[in-house]
Amino acid sequence: MTSIPGNLQAVRRRVAEAARVAGRGVDEVTLLAVSKTWPAECVREAAAAGQRAFGENYVQEGVAKIAALADLDLEWHFIGPLQSNKTRAVAEHFDWVHSVDRAKLAERLSAQRPVGRAPLDVCIQVNVGDESSKAGVAPEEVIGLAAAIAALPRLRLRGLMCIPEPDGGEALLRARFAAMRALLQSLVGAGHAVDTLSMGMSHDLETAIAEGSTLVRVGTAIFGTRTKLSEGAV
């Protein structure tokens, strides 16, 4: 039987040890529990064990869980590919979006964000490996897209997200994560108040933290193996 509280504790230990080895504080890394395809009851169990931030890849599924768990003080992150016809639901229900890769999406999210809610926290998804099968903006286009997002009234640019090649080896993985860190610094240099590097999953969180990740997206190591997977499975 999978023990979600036990798994969470084990992942937290991994995060803490990775931060220690990297000479960083454990409070510098947020653990995002990726709950896609898992029922609301599993999220509730993780929340009872102290987890607050959860990530969803599918809009309809995520919105249903947010409604079912409205009695809990949770933070909801949309981390999957985002289509224009789904932006309203994301803008109305989620706290974060990690997968913005074009100005049109950002404009729709800003226009559709309810006035009574805090600005939507946004990360730009970067196709750091230039993979044709993955979404994300090219690294050289990050500065321009960041400027467009920063000019929108109902969004708050927080940083960058990536999903590197899963089988490129440790050296390539480190290079991809290091490139993301450099991109974030270029945004800081351009005057953006960004603070988030969303990178690292169940299998590579230690490497991501060593290279500066501030948020790791962990699903399998917390909830177990899924029955269906999508791009960016974690």
Report the CATH number that the domain containing residue 165 is assigned in CATH.
3.20.20.10
Q: Is residue 211 part of a domain?
A: yes
Q: Which domain holds residue 57?
A: 4-223
Number of domains in the chain: 1
For residue 25, what pLDDT is reported?
Answer: 97
Give me the pLDDT at residue 112, please.
98
Q: Which sign does the torsion angle of CA 17, 20, 25, 30 carry?
A: negative
Beta-carbon-side half-sphere exposure of residue 18 (alpha carbons within 13 Å) = 28
Give the pLDDT score at 230.
Answer: 37
**Is residue 231, in this structure, part of any structural domain at all?**
no
Residue 119 DSSP class:
P
> What's the confidence (pLDDT) of residue 2?
61
Q: What is the pLDDT of residue 234?
A: 40
C-alpha Rg value of the chain to the nearest Å: 17
Supply angle C-alpha 61, 150, 93, rounded to 5: 20
Residue 230 within a domain: no
78 within some domain: yes
DSSP code for 18:
H
In a domain? residue 229: no
Confidence (pLDDT) at 209: 98
Alpha helices in 87-154 (DSSP H): 87-93, 103-112, 142-150
- Does some domain include residue 99? yes
Instruction: Judge whether 129 lies within some domain.
Output: yes
Q: Is 211 helix (H, G, I), strand (E, B) or coil?
A: coil
Which pTM does this prediction carry? 0.94
pLDDT score, position 233: 37
| Residue 37 maps to a domain | yes
Q: pLDDT tens track of the chain, all 234 residues? A: 469 999 999 999 999 999 999 999 999 999 999 999 999 999 999 999 999 999 999 999 999 999 999 999 999 999 999 999 999 999 999 999 999 999 999 999 999 999 999 999 999 999 998 877 788 999 999 999 999 999 999 999 999 999 998 777 899 999 999 999 999 999 999 999 999 999 999 999 999 999 999 999 999 999 998 755 333 334
DSSP assignment string, 25-89: -GGG-EEEEE-TTS-HHHHHHHHHTT--EEEES-HHHHHHHHHHTTTS--EEEE-S---GGGHHH
